[in-house]
Structure 1
Amino acid sequence: MSVKQTRILIFGAGVIGSIYAIKFIEAGLDVTMLARSNRFHSLKENGLKYKKKDKVKSIKVNVIDKLENDDVYDYIFVTVRYDRSESALLALKDNQSQNIVTMINNSIGFSSWLDIVGDRLLPAFPGVGGQIKDGILEARFPPKILVATTFGEISGVVTERVENLAQLFKTAKLPYKMNKDMKAYLITHSVADIALLGVLHADDKIIDAQTARTRKTAHKITVILKAYLRAIQKAGVAIDPPNLKMVIKLPNLILDLFFMLWLRTKMVKDMMLPDYAINANNEIVQLNNDLLKFLSQNDIDMGVHASDSRIE
C-alpha cells in the first residue's frame, strides 16, 4: 500500500484529532475529518486553524459530518474521550473500513469494543496534547524520549497493518512505538490519569490553584497512584512502561516533592481551565468506575478512590 494513496479518516475534531490531521495533511496524505455542529461549520468555512510560533495559521481540510457505510478508508483514527468511545464505535459498526485505530484511554480491556467492531480494532494511544481556544488549536508535543504515539495488535503480533501504520507515522514525522501488550499499557496509563487528573476535580468542582499546589494534594496523588499500581499488578496486569514500577518502591516524600513540582507547571494550569477540567473529569470518572469493576472482578477491593477527598 502506497502511503501517499492511503485514505485516512479522523473521527473526532478535538485537540488530538486536529493535531494528527495537520501532521498527516502536511505530509501529503489523503485526510478527511468527521466533525459535528459548530466545529464542522468552522472547519468547512475557515479550515483547521492552529498556532505555530505565536502566529495563527490555517490549513485546508476535507470535512464531513456524516459517514456513509460504503465510504471506505484505509485507517479510521477514533480520537474521542473514553466516555464517548462506545458511541463512536457504534457509529462505525456498519462502515466497511477494515482498520479502526482507537486513540483512546482504556481501563478495563477491549471486550466491549470488540463486540462492536470485531477484529478491525487496532488499539493505540496519542503522543500529543494541547487545547483549542477560540477555535484555534494550540498543540503540545512532549519530548520524544518521554511520549510517543503507541499502538499494537491486541494479540501482540506485528502484522502488516501495524507496519503500514508505522510507515504513516514515519511519513508524518511523528514519533511512535509499537507495543505488544496494549491492554497493560492502556490500563497503566489510565491509572496514572486517574491519580494525576482525578485530584484536580474534587467534590464536583475544580480545586483552586492554591490548593492544587499544596503538599496535601501532591500526597493524595502519591497515595492513589501507588495503590492502583499495586492493585493492577495483583490483577495480573503488567505495569507498562516497566519503569513505573519504581513508583511503588520510591519513598512517599520523594514522590510528593515530584508531584508538587508537576502541579506548578503550565500543563496543570491548562488542565484546570473550566472546559478542559469538566470534560476531562467525565472521562476520569468513567475510567475510574470501570477500573474498579475490573479490579472487583479479580477479587481486589480498593480502599482508595480517585474522588476520595479524605485521603491525608
Structure 2
Amino acid sequence: MSAKQNRILIFGAGVIGSMYAIRLIEAGFDVTLFARPNRFKTLRENGLQFKEKGTVKSIQVNVIDTLENDDVYDFIFVTVRYDRSESALLALKDNQSKNIVTMTNNPIGFSSWLDIVGNRLLPAFPGFGGQIKDGVLHARFLPKIIAATVFGEINGEVTERIENLAKLFKAAKLPYIIKKDMQAYLITHSVSDIAMMSVLYSENKIIDKKTARTRKMARKITVTLKAYLMAIQKAGVSIDPPILKMVLKFPNLFLDLFFMTWLRTKMVRDMMLSDYANNANNEIVQLSNDLMKFLSQDDIKSEKVLYMNKCPKKCSIRC
C-alpha cells in the first residue's frame, strides 16, 4: 500500500487531528483536514503551524469546512472529543467513504455509532496529546511503551482494512497496537480519564494550581479510580491495559504519592488545567454519565457501586 493510493480525511483540526495530519503529510499521504470556521480560517491563512525543537514551523495542508457525500476517502479519522463524537458521525452519515476511524473514548459501547455509520466504524484511540496555543500546535509525544495509537475491529478480527491501517501508520512512523477487544480498552481508558480529570474541575470552575498539587486531590483520584475499576470488572469488562488491575491491589498511600507526582507535572500545570477552559469538562461529564448507563444496562446494582459515593461530593460528575 503506497502513500499515493490513500486519501485521508481528518475530521477535526484540534490537537489530535493536527498531529496526525503533520505526520501523515510528512509521510507523503494525501491528507485533508475538516475544520470549524475559526480554525479553518487560520489554517487557510497560515498553514498548519507547530512548534518543534523550540522553532515554530508551518506545513501546508488541504483544509475544508464542508464535505460532499461523493467526496470519498480511504480512511476518515474522527478526531473530536467524546461529547462531540455523535454529531461528527451524523455529519459523515451520508458520505460514501468506507472506513470511519473514531479516535476517542467510548464508555458505553458502539451500538449508537453503528446505528449511524454501520460497519464502516473502526474504533481507535490516539497515542499522543498536546495543546494549540495562539494557533500553534505544541505536541506531546510519549514512548510507545506508554502511549501508541490503538485500533481494532469491534469483533476482534484482523481484517484487510486493519492491515492497511497498520501499514499506513508504519509508513508514517507512528507507533500502533492492534487490539482484539476495543470495547474493553476504551471503557477502561474512559474510567482512568474520568478519575484523573474530574478532580481538576470543582464547584463549576477549574481548580487552582496550588489546590491541584495537594494530597487531598490525589486521594480523590485514588478512590474514584479504584471504584470505577471495581465496577467495570464486576460488569464483566476485562481491564485493559492489564497493568491497571494492579491498581486494585496497591495501597492507597502508594497511589496517592503517584498521583501527587502526576498532578505536579508540567503537563497538568500548563496543558490540562488551561485546557479545561475549552469545554474539556463537558467531555468528562458525558463520559461519566454514559459509563453509569453502561453499568446499569449490565445489571450492576446500586449496592455494587456504593463505593463510588466516596467520590468528591463537589465534583462535577454525578457519581
TM bucket, shorter chain: over 0.9
Q: How does 1:48-127 map to 2 (within 5 A)?
A: 48-127=48-127
State the alpha-carbon separation in 2 of the partners of residues 132 and 91 from structure 1: 24
| Aligned with 1:308 (options 290, 301, 313) | 313
State the superposition RMSD in angstroms: 1.3
User: Number of aligned pairs?
Assistant: 310
Aligned residue for 1:56, secondary structure, equals strand
Q: Paired residue for 1:28?
A: 28
Structure 2 regions of 5+ residues with no counterpart?
none
State the alpha-carbon separation in 2 of the partners of residues 30 and 219 from structure 1: 47
Q: Is the 8 A contact 1:131 1:138 kept in 2?
A: yes
Alpha-carbon distance, 1:307 to partner:
5.7
Q: Paired residue for 1:168?
A: 168
Q: Is the 8 A contact 1:8 1:77 kept in 2?
A: yes
Q: How does 1:1-312 map to 2 (within 5 A)?
A: 1-300=1-300, 301=302, 302-303=305-306, 304=308, 308-309=313-314
Could you list the structure 1 runs, at least 4 aligned residues long, displaced by more than 6 angstroms after superposition: none
State the alpha-carbon separation in 1 of the partners of residues 278 and 5 from structure 2: 39
Matched residue type, 1:234: K
State the alpha-carbon separation in 2 of the partners of residues 288 and 271 from structure 1: 22
Alpha-carbon distance, 1:275 to partner:
4.2
C-alpha offsets along residues 185-244 of structure 1, whole Å, 9 cap, x if unaligned? 000000000000000011211111111111111011000000000000001110001111
Q: Is the 8 A contact 1:40 1:65 kept in 2?
A: yes
Q: 1:307 to 1:278 in 2, by over 3 A?
A: farther
Aligned residue for 2:101, secondary structure, equals strand
TM-score (norm 1): 0.97
State the alpha-carbon separation in 2 of the partners of residues 212 and 21 from structure 1: 33
Aligned residue for 1:192, secondary structure, equals helix
Aligned residue for 2:90, secondary structure, equals helix
C-alpha offsets along residues 252-296 of structure 1, whole Å, 9 cap, x if unaligned? 010001001111001111344444344211100000000011112
TM-score (norm 2): 0.95
Structure 1 regions of 5+ residues with no counterpart?
none
Q: Is the 8 A contact 1:72 1:97 kept in 2?
A: yes
Q: Is the 8 A contact 1:201 1:277 kept in 2?
A: no
Q: Is the 8 A contact 1:3 1:167 kept in 2?
A: no
State the alpha-carbon separation in 1 of the partners of residues 256 and 12 from structure 2: 36
Q: 1:229 to 1:273 in 2, by over 3 A?
A: closer
Which stretch of structure 1 is more off in the superposition, 272-281 or 35-44?
Answer: 272-281
Q: 1:299 to 1:308 in 2, by over 3 A?
A: farther
Alpha-carbon distance, 1:35 to partner:
0.6
C-alpha offsets along residues 23-61 of structure 1, whole Å, 9 cap, x if unaligned? 000001100000111110111111000000010000000
State the alpha-carbon separation in 1 of the partners of residues 274 and 259 from structure 2: 22
Q: Is the 8 A contact 2:98 2:120 kept in 1?
A: yes
Q: Is the 8 A contact 1:47 1:58 kept in 2?
A: yes
Aligned residue for 1:109, secondary structure, equals coil
Matched residue type, 2:232: I
Matched residue type, 2:150: T
Matched residue type, 2:73: Y
State the alpha-carbon separation in 2 of the partners of residues 27 and 274 from structure 1: 32
Aligned residue for 1:216, secondary structure, equals helix
Residue identity over aligned pairs, in percent, reads 75
State the alpha-carbon separation in 2 of the partners of residues 269 and 308 from structure 1: 23
